């Protein structure tokens, strides 16, 4: 993972949140000269993501810490696997433990769930997408984890795609008017970004289609409605399915012929992968 100043700032804020003015437990019980080594142990099967972030946590606390990855992000591991080793000042390892695990467990949980969805639809052309339903200030980490699980990123934020949703349509008056205004704005700014429209029924699909958009989102369509929409669109633009999609029904959704399936639960309902950090004093 590549880090910029903004990402490092997030990690530093996470450390500040936890350590504050100092780790009073470690500082009072452990001599500052003591060294330790630790292992990162996976206690559940899953796809690992966030090892570089965990390393950054420890290295920010003490540059003398040596972090050795035994696998790479995106790899599947079995419960009981050692995924990394850490060696250095004991105080820094213990002070960084919770923050490092918070990142690593969350990110690996996202990658693992994403991979489960990807596995269900591997026989189709559909791609699993994330959404903007991410933890505040953790969006890059969340979306990176989706990619490590085999998914793809939808728009990163409000700046890199026009996605006309129901509230935009309500305020602008109609799908047609919202698309017209969007195209006029893009022409003025000379931005080359895609336009996607959220639709609730087949008549809205037809209206979006008549206005030549790049992607049509089928929001909470039934499987039967999706098939009708796919026939209506007939390859004229890309199609995204969204809303109420689970591991139980994602295969049927993909088999309708949609290009993309967006799933907010990948990042808004994360179940952390069980990973522990076990320390011993040298």
Catalytically annotated residues: 98, 133, 165, 198, 219
The sheet with strand 275-281 has its strands ordered as: 66-69, 82-89, 35-42, 275-281
Token digits of residue 216:
């049509």
253 near 123, Cβ under 8 Å?
no
Phi-psi region of 206 (alpha: psi -120 to 50; beta: other; left: phi over 0): alpha
Sign, CA dihedral 22-274-117-122, equals positive
The number of beta carbons lying within 10 Å of the beta carbon of residue 22 is 10
The count of residues in the chain is: 282
Quote the CA–CA distance of 194 and 163 in Å, as a whole number: 8
Using only C-alpha atoms, what is the Rg of the chain?
A: 23
Nearest 10 degrees: Cα torsion 11, 13, 14, 18: 140
CA 21 → CA 24, 25, 59, 95, 144, distances in Å? Answer: 9, 12, 18, 12, 31
CB hemisphere CA count around 244 (13 angstroms):
8
First to last CA, the chain: 30
């Amino acid at each position: 993972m590549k880090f910029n100043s903004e990402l490092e700032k997030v990690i530093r804020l996470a450390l500040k949140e936890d350590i504050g003015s100092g780790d009073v437990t470690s500082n009072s019980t452990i001599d500052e000269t003591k060294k330790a080594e630790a292992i990162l142990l996976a206690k559940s099967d899953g796809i690992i993501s966030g090892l570089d972030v965990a390393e950054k946590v420890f290295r920010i606390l003490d540059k003398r810490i040596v972090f050795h990855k035994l696998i790479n992000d995106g790899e599947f591991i079995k419960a009981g696997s050692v995924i990394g080793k850490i060696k250095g000042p004991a105080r820094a390892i213990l002070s960084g433990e919770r923050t490092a695990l918070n990142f690593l467990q969350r990110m690996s949980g996202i990658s693992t769930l994403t991979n489960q969805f990807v596995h269900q639809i591997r026989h189709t052309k559909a791609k699993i997408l994330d959404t903007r339903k991410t933890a505040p200030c953790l969006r890059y980490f969340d979306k990176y984890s989706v990619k490590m699980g085999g998914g793809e990123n939808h728009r990163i934020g409000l700046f890199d795609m026009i996605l006309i949703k129901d509230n935009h349509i309500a305020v602008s008056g109609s799908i047609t008017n919202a698309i017209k205004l969007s195209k006029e704005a893009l022409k003025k700014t000379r931005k080359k970004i895609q336009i996607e429209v959220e639709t609730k029924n087949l008549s809205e699909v037809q209206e979006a289609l008549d206005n030549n958009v790049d992607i049509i989102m089928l929001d909470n369509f039934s499987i039967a409605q999706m098939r009708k929409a796919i026939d209506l669109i007939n390859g004229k633009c890309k199609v995204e399915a969204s809303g109420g999609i689970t591991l139980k029904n994602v295969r049927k959704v993909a088999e309708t012929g949609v290009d993309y399936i967006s799933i907010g639960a990948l990042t808004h309902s994360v179940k952390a992968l069980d990973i522990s950090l076990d320390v011993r004093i040298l």
